């Protein structure tokens, strides 16, 4: 969760391959090209393929290939483990980077040195980037960072910090920011110290059929417009799926996000985020959390065994962090929670915020929590207009509490403390029963 500052890419002198680099004839059924070589197109529909195989000069050949890449080219890594000591960077568009499978082609940055860039892969190509069938391990910073791309397709990619969860791990596994038309599918992300899959300040996003585990946040959609998050498995993170809107970013709002058909189960890992990060405030044991976002629809999910709460709806004001961005709306509005399956949530609240709320509400905590903080300028007769309200319906036997955080004040450990006579707890779900029009599905050209 941070503002992205574009930095100059690492300038690497292009090496000229002197052996084994002659173009090779043939098709996919013929001879393989030599390591580091290019197969020129034989017609307008056949892309050029540059292949990199494991070897002592593979890092130089790989970065050279990325520097020289042309639109339409495929950079293909062979099987095996590639050892890199510096960030690999690509600034050309319409390029595919592929391997042989997420457990067959491994790009390892375990020996990434100081002053050589923090990311594993850093991509700033403006259009049409595809990443598939490989793994990125042990990046010093973010594993794969993509900035400013229209048309980003990440398929069957694994990112992992193999030493297990640690606050010294990189912040993000898959990290598209300021992008549009983003597809992330069939990926695995483990060990990120902020969010495994993070999409920020972007629009038109599909995140589907991924597995995220042992991250602080499994999946985070932040300051984005039009996102579909579905058929993912989020387990053993501190928080499973977050839909956040944050201040002090160029893109000010987050809206139109559908979270559905996910399995959000047992996200009870300790929160190992570095101190000072907003995500460090997420209580371990959080299933789904919506913060300061509008037009969010959460439905048909299995949300089970998250020890603090299954789902929470909160304002940014709950963080007690100073708010200096006068164009930022810190409230949740137009939230629709329906037809989910909740089971065994809230039974062991943890984290400073979780424990504090449990003192106010009681333990076990309800499956669905709402802080009750609303924008006073929209209140009419003490309530929000229906189109801006919080609507909760058909979630089985899930219990609920509005813990009235507006009656709490800053100053205590954990960020909030009882003030005066304390909050007025509302547990009656009938007061929030209702529905909103279904949000439109996200559509990306060429994606079914």
**pLDDT (tens digit, 0 to 9) for every residue of the chain, 448 residues total?**
543 333 333 333 333 233 333 333 333 333 344 444 444 444 457 889 999 999 999 999 999 999 999 999 999 999 999 999 999 999 999 999 999 999 999 999 999 976 566 899 999 999 999 999 999 999 999 999 999 999 999 999 999 999 999 999 999 999 999 999 999 999 999 999 999 999 999 999 999 999 999 999 999 999 999 999 999 999 999 999 999 999 999 999 999 999 999 999 999 999 999 998 999 999 999 999 999 999 999 999 999 999 999 999 999 999 888 899 999 999 999 999 999 999 999 999 999 889 989 999 999 999 999 999 999 999 888 789 999 999 999 999 999 999 999 876 543 333 344 444 567 899 999 999 999 999 999 999 999 9
Q: Is residue 37 part of a domain?
A: no
Q: Is residue 419 part of a domain?
A: yes
**Whole-Å CA distances, 124 to 67, 95, 141, 198:** 12, 11, 16, 17
**The pTM is what?**
0.89
Count Cα atoms within 13 angstroms, Cβ side, for 416.
26
- Pull the structure tokens for residue 362: 């009681």
CA-based nearest residue to 63, from 38, 37, 88, 34: 88
CA-based nearest residue to 74, from 144, 133, 31, 158: 133
Q: Is residue 276 part of a domain?
A: yes
The number of domains in the chain is 1
CA-based nearest residue to 390, from 282, 254, 257, 296: 296
Rounded to whole angstroms, the Cα distance separating 15 from 57 reads 10
CB 321 within 8 A of CB 382: no
CB 375 within 8 A of CB 288: no
Q: Is residue 415 part of a domain?
A: yes
Which stretches within 183-255 are classed as H helix? none
Domain range for 422 is: 161-432
Q: Is residue 125 part of a domain?
A: no
Q: Is residue 264 part of a domain?
A: yes
Q: Is residue 261 part of a domain?
A: yes
pLDDT value for 55? 96
pLDDT value for 3? 39
CB 89 within 8 A of CB 62: no
Collapse the DSSP code of 63 into the 3-class scheme (helix H, G, I; strand E, B; otherwise coil) and give the result: helix
Collapse the DSSP code of 370 into the 3-class scheme (helix H, G, I; strand E, B; otherwise coil) and give the result: strand
CA-based nearest residue to 218, from 179, 162, 276, 259: 259
Q: Is residue 378 part of a domain?
A: yes
pLDDT value for 421? 57
């Amino acid at each position: 969760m941070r503002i992205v500052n574009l930095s100059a890419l690492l300038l690497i002198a292009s090496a000229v391959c002197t052996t084994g680099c002659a173009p090779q004839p043939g098709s996919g059924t013929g001879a393989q090209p030599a390591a580091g070589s290019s197969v020129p197109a034989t017609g307008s529909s056949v892309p050029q393929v540059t292949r990199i195989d494991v070897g002592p000069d593979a890092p130089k050949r790989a970065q050279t290939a990325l520097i020289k890449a042309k639109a339409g080219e495929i950079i293909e890594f062979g099987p095996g483990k590639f050892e890199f000591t510096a960030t690999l960077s690509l600034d050309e568009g319409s390029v595919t980077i592929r391997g042989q499978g997420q457990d067959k082609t491994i790009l390892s940055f375990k020996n990434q040195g100081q002053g050589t860039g923090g990311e594993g892969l850093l991509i700033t190509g403006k259009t049409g980037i595809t990443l598939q069938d490989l793994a990125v391990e042990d990046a010093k910073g973010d594993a794969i960072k993509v900035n400013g791309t229209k048309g980003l397709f990440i398929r069957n990619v694994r990112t992992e910090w193999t030493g297990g969860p640690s606050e010294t791990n990189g912040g993000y596994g898959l990290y598209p920011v300021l992008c549009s038309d983003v597809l992330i599918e069939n990926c695995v992300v483990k060990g990120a110290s902020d969010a495994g899959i993070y999409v920020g300040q972007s629009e038109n996003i599909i995140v589907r059929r991924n597995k995220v585990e042992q991250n602080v946040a499994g999946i985070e959609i932040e300051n984005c417009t039009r996102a579909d998050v579905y058929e993912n498995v989020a387990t053993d993170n501190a928080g499973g799926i977050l839909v956040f809107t944050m201040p002090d970013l160029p893109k000010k709002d987050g809206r139109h996000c559908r979270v559905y058909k996910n399995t959000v189960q047992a996200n009870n890992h300790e929160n190992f985020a570095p101190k000072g990060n907003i995500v460090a405030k997420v209580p371990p044991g959080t299933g789904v959390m919506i913060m300061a976002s509008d037009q969010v629809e959460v439905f048909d999910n299995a949300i089970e065994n998250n020890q603090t709460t299954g789902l929470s709806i909160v304002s940014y004001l709950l963080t007690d962090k100073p708010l200096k961005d006068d164009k930022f709306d810190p409230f949740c509005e137009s939230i629709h929670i329906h037809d989910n399956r909740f089971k065994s949530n809230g039974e062991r609240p943890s984290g400073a915020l979780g424990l504090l709320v449990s003192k106010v509400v009681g333990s076990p905590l309800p499956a669905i929590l709402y802080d009750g903080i609303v924008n006073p300028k929209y209140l009419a007769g003490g309530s929000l207009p229906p189109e801006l309200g919080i609507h909760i319906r058909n979630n089985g036997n899930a219990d609920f509490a509005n813990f009235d955080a507006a009656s709490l004040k800053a100053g205590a450990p954990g960020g909030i403390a009882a003030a005066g006579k304390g909050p007025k707890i509302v547990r009656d779900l009938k007061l929030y029963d209702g529905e909103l029009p279904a949000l439109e599905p996200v559509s990306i050209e060429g994606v079914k």
